[in-house]
Amino acid sequence: MAHLGENSAGFRSPDEVGDSPRPPDTRSAGDDAKRSLSAAWITDELLNRTRQVWSRVYGRPIDEREALEILLNVRRFAEVLLKIAKTGKTR
């Protein structure tokens, strides 16, 4: 798959935005035991699958830190959607 650059959600790929500081809960990628509590739900299998999928999307290999950041961002996005669905409010 070709490199997408800015996607339909308006986000840019990591190689376009350069090295940015990672959130504290993405600093300890690796095996399940080394992850922070906020990332404890992420298994090695899920992390590896995320790397496979998003490496194809970005057109380059992504590392564990990037995959972990993607998964945590998807979780945060899902939490926001659930909150909106429950309350009907965007703020």
Task: Indicate the number of domains in the chain.
Answer: 1
Amino acid letter at 31? D
Q: Is residue 33 part of a domain?
A: yes
Nearest one of 60, 78, 64 to 27, comparing CA atoms: 64
Residue 63 lies in a domain: yes
Entry field: residues in the chain = 91
Residue 36: other Cβ atoms inside 10 A = 15
Q: Residue 13 domain-assigned?
A: no
What is the structure's pLDDT at 24?
44
pLDDT band at 34 (very low <50, low <70, confident <90, very high): low
The alpha carbon of 57 is separated from its chain's Cα centroid by a whole number of angstroms, namely: 13
Q: Is 69 among the domain residues?
A: yes
Q: Is the pLDDT of residue 12 over 60?
A: no
Q: Is position 12 within any domain? A: no
Range of the domain at 75: 29-87
CB 38 within 8 A of CB 73: no
User: Could you tell me if residue 47 is inside a domain?
Assistant: yes
Residue 14 lies in a domain: no
Task: Output DSSP code: residue 18.
Answer: -
Helix, strand and coil percent figures for the chain, each rounded to 5: 55, 0, 45
Q: Is residue 6 part of a domain?
A: no
Instruction: Say whether pTM exceeds 0.85.
Output: no
